[in-house]
Amino acid sequence: MSTLKKVVWPQIILFGDSITQFAFQANGWGCEISHKLERKCDVVNRGLSGYNTRWAKIVLPRIVPISDAPIVAVTVFFGANDCALEDKNPAQHVHLQEFSENLKDIVRYLVSIGVSSDKIIFITPPPLQEAAWEKECLLKGSALNRLNSVAGQYAQACVQSAGQSGVDVLDLWTLMQKDGQDFSVYLSDGLHLSDKGNQFVAEHLWTLLERRVADLPFILPYWGDVDPKCPESSLLCD
């Protein structure tokens, strides 16, 4: 008896901190990307709340590759924790130069396992709405531990590292503040994304992903194309 050929779903891997971990919540940006790729590609969430790039590059070989499935794209979305102020939040803070090197190390690892640089997309941290985030900090008994200007430095470093590594980048920090717009509408608590922020990320990320997934076929036949008299002839063919 012949062995059935397994159906393999290609993968897009979302690697990042809490803004990625929460991407599959209701109205999350990961949900929107996954919806667009139904029956074409698995969108796999590997968001790790609270993580910085120092920890991320250590655990990356433990979680990627996930399987033998081909990887269509990987998003690398860090910086919101790395940019925490050293004197207020030393546990999460990563110095700017190390942050840049960590991002490049992540690319080097992904390339070493066969994920070409043209499949990697960096995403910068979004801007920080300091008044709203300070309220969150005070509720937890701490002082304001991030500044938008510092987040901007890490966003710029992310953009520069992307250029040096030959990968695409989605610069949220700049785009969300373009033309002096009120970026607070994109944030739920000053740091994490609101519904509108999730929509913003999904729309802009899709412009970078679309060409990478344009040739992915629809996996398994449309139900109306299945031969009801001999379904095997439709469902077991390559």
- pLDDT tens profile 85-123: 999 999 999 999 999 999 999 999 999 999 999 999 999
* Mean pLDDT, residues 144-148: 97
Report the pLDDT averaged over residues 15-40.
97
For residue 222, the 8-state DSSP code is: -
Distance CA 220, CA 222 (A): 7
Section 132-155 average pLDDT: 96
- Taking the C-alpha atoms of residue 13 and residue 16, their distance in angstroms, rounded to an integer, is 10
H-only helix segments in the chain: 18-21, 29-36, 53-63, 96-112, 130-139, 148-165, 172-175, 195-213, 231-235
The residue type at 207 = T
Supply the pTM of this predicted model.
0.95
Task: Give the catalytic positions in this structure.
Answer: 18, 189, 192
pLDDT tens-digit profile of 209-229? 999 999 999 999 999 999 999
Are the C-beta atoms of residues 80 and 19 closer than 8 Å to each other? Answer: yes
Quick: pLDDT tens for 167-190.
999 999 999 999 999 999 999 999
Strand (E) or helix (H) holding 47: strand 42-47
Residue % of the chain over a pLDDT of 70? 99
**pLDDT at res. 5:** 83
| Residue 209, pLDDT score | 97
Which pLDDT value is given to residue 4? 80
